[in-house]
Amino acid sequence: MREFISCNQEELFSDCDSGTIQNAIEAAVKDGCRKIVIPRYNLRTDKNEWRISRAIVVPSCMTIVLDNCFMVQETGVFDNMFRNENALLEKKTLETEDHDIALLGVGNVCLSGGVHNGILERTGRKFGFPCGCQVNQMLLWINVRNLRVENLHIEFQRHWAINHIYCRDVKIKNIDFHAIPHVPNMDGIDLRLGCNHFEMENITGRTGDDTIAMTAISGVNERAAAVEGKSSDISHVKIRNVVSDANRMLNVRLLTQDGNQVHDVDIDTIMDTSDYATKHKCNAAIGIGTQGALYVKVCRAKIGDLRQIHAKNVYSRGKSALRFDDGCADSTFTNIKTFNTCFTGLSTVGFGCVLKNITVDGFYHTAMHSDSQRGFVDLYVPTTVVNMPATSGDLCVKNVFANGIEYLCQAEDGLNVRFENCDMNGVAKVCKKLGSSKITVNGEEYQDA
Amino acid sequence: MLEWKIRGYVTPEDFEGSDGEKIQKALDYAKKEDICRVVLKGTYRAEQTITVPDHMHFVLDGATLYGNLQNEIVRNFSLVSERIYLEGKGGKIVGNLYFCHTDHLILENMEIAGDLRMDFCIYPRAEHLAVSGALTLGRGCQGAILQDIRCRRAAISGEDGGYDVIGRDPMIKNILLRDSEIKEGAVLKAAEDCAFLNVQIDGICSEKTCIVVGEKGVALPKEQYQNMTFADLTAPEKVVFLNETEHTSVY
């Protein structure tokens, strides 16, 4: 048995790079080593690139080593770069689950979306692609167990760079993105229905949309990908060190609809690296919940469907640090720091939100309209710690240190906010609108004048 | 040579000269021919500082290199080095490493018997290093992830090193230093024209004062040290503040 199969073995050459790599995979299976290396130099074409004209289909128990190589999706092609062997089976079960797949970068590896093929979310099905723009997802993993993706630089992805549906026991590490968003939806890493036991670490760079999105919604592709015997929930996800610019969107997004659950998500450190030089800012570091009835196919999410989210060490210059768009329960957010143009600490889009047992502990809020690095700000936004109209429920915000804040809180529709150990020195007013909400500051209930 | 391209790397042994000359020739050839990887095995002694070109994967495959390393530094100008990956694989460098104006520098799995310094580096990542000297992040370092580092001392310093990089923001921001041992502790010193923003140091063990913020006798506005987090520190004295800071949390 060999140590690995190289894609530069002449007997494996095909009429295209995808064919050659696929032949190498088959040879590795036959040999038993189940490991291939895609090197920098492409002997077949005498170039330092691998042009991918059709998806490389990866079977179970396969290690693919990308060795300092540059791989680019071919112009005019409508397919993934990598996907697992049973990803597109019509009927998916635990028996057809692919497993033990590793895609490992060595040295400086670059995966590029190349020239965009024009397929977008709003046009995919019109051009006869039943999966819509799923064909444009660079790495597509459906019904996979024990997957590793490490040490890659991904640029100009045509849609979501890495998409997972019904995957479990996944480790993603040291992934760097570069996307100047010339098309919408250039997400970094997506977890869709049925994903659990993920560990993601060191996710950096610039994505054209959410850097990490965990979205338990029953889209067409997700319903088609349903796996008998697997729960549709997203759960037990650990995220560490997200240092990214999400280009107007969210560094980390979590949402759900249709009774699917998202729970037990631990987020340790998000740093928003957008800056004034890019002239715009992220929506928020963490966005939780779905906006109103968006994405509903069966029923709206109810309180408790999205729960046990624990995030710490969040540094944001976005429109807000934390954005709650729908119900969230039993969750904590610790050490939240804003800077630059993050004028609102906690916000909501305003389509109706319910909070239950939410605690923010350690909130440091600085945003200055006079900041020379504020970049472009199109509307005047007063600086507020909590600005959540159309929200009800209970929120506790403790250990609050705020500079130059115009309002501590705007809540008018039944959100009860309890501020504990709140430094009032930098706060001009407690509340803008009280309505039916109850606000307590350092043990004293605020009364509207 | 085609053989080297297919092999995927060059070695100093492919060239003639002293150890330092051979290594430099290997790096220059790997860059010129776009092979982009140099592998060292054995022991080498380089008298001149070795310059690592960008887009290079430099591997010490159990090797020991006596000598200093740096990138192609063109001070005061905007030429940037990109994607230098130094992989130790159990190897050791006896010397100093200096990287300036490098984007996406990665150092992993090596022992450095000397100092490691970075200035104006964007998105550097250093993990699983043993540094016998000092680890220094200088002006303009941003988006850094440093984890599992063992070093004698660490410094994050905004002091003017006598040069600057035109077009680069000198601010030190978005820095993570985590789960490391810093024997003599870390010193954080901003400057009048170089502020700190979003610096997190956590999971650190130290035999002395773990973190010192500021400099005795130098009083900067507190805005020069903004949004810092120090947590899970194990040391006789955890944090000493010699300057006011803004929105620092100590856990």
Predicted confidence (pLDDT) per residue in A93-127, tens digit: 999 999 999 999 999 999 999 999 988 888 877 76
Tokens of A134: 């799923």
Contact A364 B249 (CB under 8 A): yes
Distance CA A94, CA A398 (A): 45
Q: Give the span between the Cα atoms of A184 and A208, in whole angstroms.
A: 7
Average pLDDT over every residue of B19-23: 97
- ipTM, two decimals, is 0.96
Nearest-CA distance B187 → chain A (Å): 21
Chain B nearest C-alpha distance from A398 (Å): 13
How do beta strands A98-106 and A139-142 pair? unpaired
Give me A416's structure tokens: 């009860």
Buried b or exposed e, range A103-120, using 16+ CB within 10 angstroms: bbbbbbbbbbbbebbebb
Query: Torsions phi, psi of A253, nearest 5?
Result: -120, 140
Which residues in B lie closer than 8 A to residue A10 (C-beta atoms)?
Answer: none
B36 → chain A, closest CA residue: A68
Decide if B83 and A68 are in contact by the 8 Å CB cutoff.
Answer: no
Out of A68, A275, A366, the one facing B247 most closely (by C-beta) is: A366
What residues in B contact A39, CB-CB < 8 Å? 6, 8
Cα–Cα distance, B194 to B199 (Å, whole number) = 13
Which helix H or strand E contains B44, and what residues bound it? strand B43-45
pTM here is 0.96
How close B48 comes to chain A (CA, Å)?
25
pLDDT, averaged across chain B: 94
- What's residue A373's pLDDT? 47
- Inter-chain residue contact A204 with B34, CB threshold 8 Å: no
Q: Which of B68, B41, B66, B63 is nearest to B52 (CA)?
A: B68
Kindly identify which residue of chain A lies nearest to residue B173, measuring between CA atoms: A273
Q: B176 and A67 in contact by Cβ < 8 A? A: no
Residue with tokens 């048995």: A1
What is the per-residue pLDDT across B55-110, written as a single tens digit (0 to 9) for each?
Answer: 999 999 999 999 999 999 876 666 888 999 999 998 999 999 999 999 999 999 99
Q: Considering only CB atoms, which chain B residues are within 8 Å of A366?
A: 226-227, 246-247
User: Which residues from chain A sit within 8 angstroms of residue B87, using beta carbons?
Assistant: 107
Beta-strand runs (E) in A108-156: 110-112, 139-142, 144-155
> What are the chain B neighbours of A362 within 8 Å (beta carbons)?
249
In this structure, the strands spanning A439-441 and A444-445 are antiparallel
pLDDT (tens digit per residue) in A230-246: 999 999 999 999 999 99
Q: Is A153 part of the contact surface with chain B (CB cutoff 8 Å)?
A: yes
Q: Do B123 and A313 touch (CB under 8 A)?
A: no
Mean pLDDT of B213-235: 96
Instruction: Write out pLDDT tens, residues B156-173.
Output: 999 987 667 777 889 999
Distances (CA, A) of A149 to A1, A109, A164, A376, B146: 25, 12, 12, 37, 20
Question: Would the pLDDT of A280 be above 90?
Answer: no
Residues with Cβ within 8 Å of A122's Cβ and at least 6 positions away in sequence, in order, are: none
Instruction: Check CB contact under 8 Å for A106 and B200.
Output: no
Please name the residue of chain B whose CA is at the shortest distance from the CA of residue A400.
B247
Whole-Å CA distances, A6 to A12, A49, A74, A326, B37: 9, 15, 21, 50, 17
Query: Which tokens belong to A88?
Result: 């597109």
Structural element, H or E, at residue A238: strand A234-245
Q: Does A339 touch chain B (CB under 8 A)?
A: yes
Residue of chain B whose Cα is closest to the Cα of A42: B6
Q: What average pLDDT does this structure show over A337-365? A: 91
pLDDT for A300: 85
Contact B85, B125 (CB under 8 A): no
Reply yes or no on whether the pLDDT at B220 is more than 70: yes
Task: Please report, in angstroms and rounded to a whole number, the separation of the first and last CA atoms in chain A.
Answer: 82
Token digits of residue A77: 């092609």
Higher pLDDT, A130 or B215: B215
A238 and B CB contact within 8 Å: no
Chain A environment of B226 (Cβ under 8 Å): 339, 366
Q: Which of B57, B176, B198 sits opposite A68 (nearest CB)?
A: B57
Report the alpha-carbon distance of residue A141 to residue A147 in Å, rounded: 9
E strand residue ranges, A339-383: 344-347, 353-366
| Any B CB within 8 A of A271 CB | yes
Chain B positions in Cβ-Cβ contact with residue A202 (cut-off 8 Å) = 125, 145
Q: What's the confidence (pLDDT) of residue A197?
A: 98
Give the mean pLDDT of B3-17. Answer: 95
Q: Which residue, chain included where needed, has tokens 């549906």?
A: A165
Interchain pair B36, A68: CB under 8 A: yes
